[in-house]
Amino acid sequence: MSSHSKTLLSFIIPTIDDLRVKRAITSITSSTGWSTHDCELIVVVNNCSKHFYTHLRNHFISGKSRDNIKIVYLRKGNIARARNIGIKAASGRYLVHMDSDCKLVSDYVETLKRHLSNQNLLIARGAVKFAPANNLLSKASCELKKIAYFTRQEIAYAPNLIVKKELYKKVGLFDEKLFHGEDTEWSQRLKNFRVVPRFFSDLIIDHIDHKSILKIIMTYFHYGVGRTYRFKRALLKSNLTLRDKYSTYYRLFNEIPNLRSINSFINKIIILFLYLVRDIGVFYGLFKWNMVK
């Protein structure tokens, strides 16, 4: 990044051929505080046909002077590589990671600028409101995500992750070998530098859940695969005692939130089912990446 850059905020959105990204883009550029002078938006279209990329360019850039919106095409990629391309292309001092199924609240940019003007932050997280689709699986899933997100504020989850760009020089970029769980693996590295994200409850995005039941189930399978990466270094250490290894496996498979906070018995059953799906993903990750010697 040039030292002469006046850009404060770079929003980065990796997306496949997900039309919901249009709503995400519009929510950013229409948020109070958005300015072409100190804000930019980078969308990295990956792992889909070039037709969708062309469609987005025609919709948001063609015929307009939109130098602060960049749409990048990556034919063969994954979310970690897409995020890294966005990081490298960004000129802002702070990078805001979002997903294509998210939407900013109307005063998000203004609120974030106010926080940044009051303190020198290295990394921060904002709040996420999970909006369920109209089915029981989605409603239970959103309850579970809400518990997991707000009780683990020290983890650098994306979306709604704000990172000072210089921090990547210390911690490194996202691991491009990972197709899932890239943010939790990066968060583990962050802990080695004793850097903890600051949490701001007034920096809010809406996270819109899938309508498809199959996609919800596959999301939790992918969570499990990503979770395997999170414990990768501990599992590969040859000097772990038997007790240490048992502790690692226990945390890998048995982290279930306090279900007493879930009112509905049906939701508790569904959440246990989602954790079963997640654990299948964990087994798949252990098998595929040969993480246990």
Instruction: Name the pLDDT band for 3 (thresholds 50, 70, 90).
Output: very low
> Can you tell me the distance from the alpha carbon of 243 to that of 223, in angstroms, rounded to the nearest whole number?
26
The pLDDT of residue 290 = 63
Give the rounded distance of the alpha carbon of 193 from its chain centre.
Answer: 20
> How confident is the model over 221-240, as a mean pLDDT?
77
**Tokens 């369920």, residue?**
132
> Can you tell me the distance from the alpha carbon of 140 to that of 162, in angstroms, rounded to the nearest whole number?
28
The pLDDT of residue 90 = 95
> How confident is the model over 227-240, as a mean pLDDT?
72
Neighbour order of strands in the sheet with 69-74: 69-74, 39-46, 9-15, 94-97, 161-164, 123-131, 198-208, 102-104
The pLDDT of residue 292 = 42
Residue 1 has pLDDT above 50, yes or no: no
56-60, 152-156, 198-202, 256-260: range with lowest mean pLDDT: 256-260
Q: What is the largest CA-CA distance in the chain?
A: 64
The pLDDT of residue 18 = 87
Residues 6+ apart with CB under 8 A from 213: 135, 137, 138
> Can you tell me the distance from the alpha carbon of 145 to that of 132, in angstroms, rounded to the nearest whole number?
11
Residue 20 has pLDDT above 80, yes or no: yes
- Own/partner long-range contacts of 81-85 (Cβ < 8 Å, ≥24 apart): 81/46, 81/174, 81/176, 82/14, 82/15, 82/44, 82/46, 83/12, 83/14, 83/44, 83/158, 83/173, 83/174, 83/182, 84/173, 84/174, 84/176, 85/44
> Which domains does the chain show, CATH number per domain?
9-211 (3.90.550.10), 220-288 (no CATH)
pLDDT in tens, 123-160: 999 999 998 988 999 999 988 888 777 777 778 888 89
Query: DSSP alpha helices (H): ranges in the chain?
Result: 21-29, 50-60, 79-89, 108-118, 136-150, 167-171, 182-191, 213-230, 232-236, 242-253, 265-288
pLDDT in tens, 61-97: 765 557 789 999 998 878 999 999 999 999 999 999 9
Question: What is the SS3 assignment for 49?
Answer: coil
What is the pTM (predicted TM-score) of this model? 0.85
